[in-house]
Amino acid sequence: MPTNRKAAAGSGHARQNATGVVATKTPEPRTALITGGSGFLGRHLVELLVERGYNVIVVDLKLFPFTEYSESELVKSLRSQVRDISVDIGNYDALWEALRSVPRIDAVFHCATASPTAANAANRKLMEYVNIEGTKQVIRFCLERGIRYLVYTSSASVVFAGLDLIDVDEESAPLAKKDIDFYTYTKRVAEQLVLQTASSSSTDPARRVLYAVALRPSGIFGEYDPLFIPTLVSRARQGRMKYIIGSGRNAMDWTYVKNVAEAHYLAAEALQESDKRAKQLTGKAYFITNGDPRSFWGFLGSILQGLGYPPPRHRLPFALVYSIAWLVVLIDAVARLLGRSLSTDFTPGRVLLATCERRVSCAAARRDLGYNPRFSIEDGLERTLRWFRSRGLAAQTEAPMVQSVPKPVATTT
């Protein structure tokens, strides 16, 4: 099994054996804790870290799905290197007790999140509890256990305020003053908690040091996805994916999930390289993309066609759809006063996400973390569609081959 060269470099030392030959002591593997490790991104990160020689502790409400793996060698590695613990990260006492017996944790990857489903959109207490309170407890745990390195999974949406983003970077796109939805609000607050704590702890000699970075993936897709593609297919089966809102020319950055996992690994490795390196990186946020923006509606169409469904073809005026979305908000507000809720994700924010340009630069991650997407959009899409076809989401036995997702034409602000 491949090993992590950087992880192996830090803890070995030379010793002389009985024959007088100098041998190097085998280093102890690093141990990573992954919150949300049984989820979409979490599972890919677990697989990658195990491949790179880490021992992994998965903290999630769900236990890790070992039984879903059929490759014997992978199962063997996962079972020997992964320990899963079911615990609520928002309950600090339970979190501490569940991990009390773990002797060593080198780095924490905080991937756990309450996703912006329609049901969660109506349950703001849940999103606030998981995304904000859960993050507070993870930070507290790191500080009290003396864990020095934390990688937080944020979102590129924290800089999106409903206006076009065209080739912006972390400096030119500050945090949005008005969040596009409540989910994004919770991710922005959590990101600030992580980065502010990291920055202050690394400069305050009276506090334990916590070095941390936040990664902002854009448009994650891939195998194990429980939300984006299943929702897309559900709507296609209901005949609700016939329409394009607006011109249909808007593009955004999509990112294959294995590239996002790789970015997390590289961020942790960079932090652990040296204190000097950690001090240079801590408190920073990085956009993570495939570096290859594609048409928003073209990408949806490629997924649908690859699974045997027709792509969106008919255009609806943006102004009409946006107005209807605000009407839905008004109706939902009245329903809430009556103790009911529409539980819908058809909101003005969702309409803007589907119609605005959202292109961000990951040049900083390339420069500081050595990030370079290993899988292209086409490779990622092929792997994704193959996985979903094998699980019965295709409309027919032989789904048509997906066409290349069109790249955006040049646009101006």
344-366 burial by CB neighbour count: b if 16+ within 10 A, else e?
Answer: ebebbbbbbbbbbbbbbbbebbe
For residue 368, pLDDT beyond 80: yes
Write down the CATH superfamily of domain 5-14+29-224+253-292+358-374. Answer: NAD(P)-binding Rossmann-like Domain (3.40.50.720)
pLDDT at 359: 97
For residue 7, pLDDT beyond 50: no
pLDDT tens-digit series, residues 150-173: 999 999 999 999 999 999 999 999
For residue 308, pLDDT beyond 50: yes
The pLDDT-based confidence of 118 (bands split at 50, 70, 90) is low
CA neighbor of 221 nearest in space, from 326, 168, 299, 280 = 299
pLDDT tens-digit series, residues 181-216: 999 999 999 999 999 999 888 777 877 899 999 999
Rounded Cα–Cα distance for residues 124 and 191 (Å): 18
For residue 2, pLDDT beyond 50: no
For residue 126, pLDDT beyond 60: yes
Centre a 10 Å sphere on the Cβ of residue 320 and count the other Cβ atoms it contains.
Answer: 10
Give 376's contacts (C-beta < 8 A, 6+ positions apart). Answer: 256, 290, 292
What whole-number percentage of the chain has pLDDT above 70? 88
The pLDDT-based confidence of 330 (bands split at 50, 70, 90) is very high
Which phi and psi (to 5°) does residue 322 adopt? -65, -40
132-155 burial by CB neighbour count: b if 16+ within 10 A, else e?
Answer: bbbbbbbbebbbebebbbbbbbbb
What whole-number percentage of the chain has pLDDT above 90? 76
| Catalytic residue check, 183 | yes
Rounded Cα–Cα distance for residues 222 and 47 (Å): 14
109 neighbors 43 (Cβ within 8 angstroms): no
Rounded Cα–Cα distance for residues 263 and 267 (Å): 6
pLDDT at 4: 40
CA neighbor of 227 nearest in space, from 335, 117, 149 = 117
Rounded Cα–Cα distance for residues 213 and 152 (Å): 6
Given the residues 152, 183, 286, 371, the one annotated as active site: 183
pLDDT at 411: 44
More confident of the two residues 333 and 3: 333
Rounded Cα–Cα distance for residues 279 and 345 (Å): 41
pLDDT at 135: 98
Which residue ranges make up each domain of the chain?
5-14+29-224+253-292+358-374
For residue 220, pLDDT beyond 50: yes
pLDDT tens-digit series, residues 49-96: 999 999 999 999 999 999 998 877 888 899 999 999 999 999 999 999
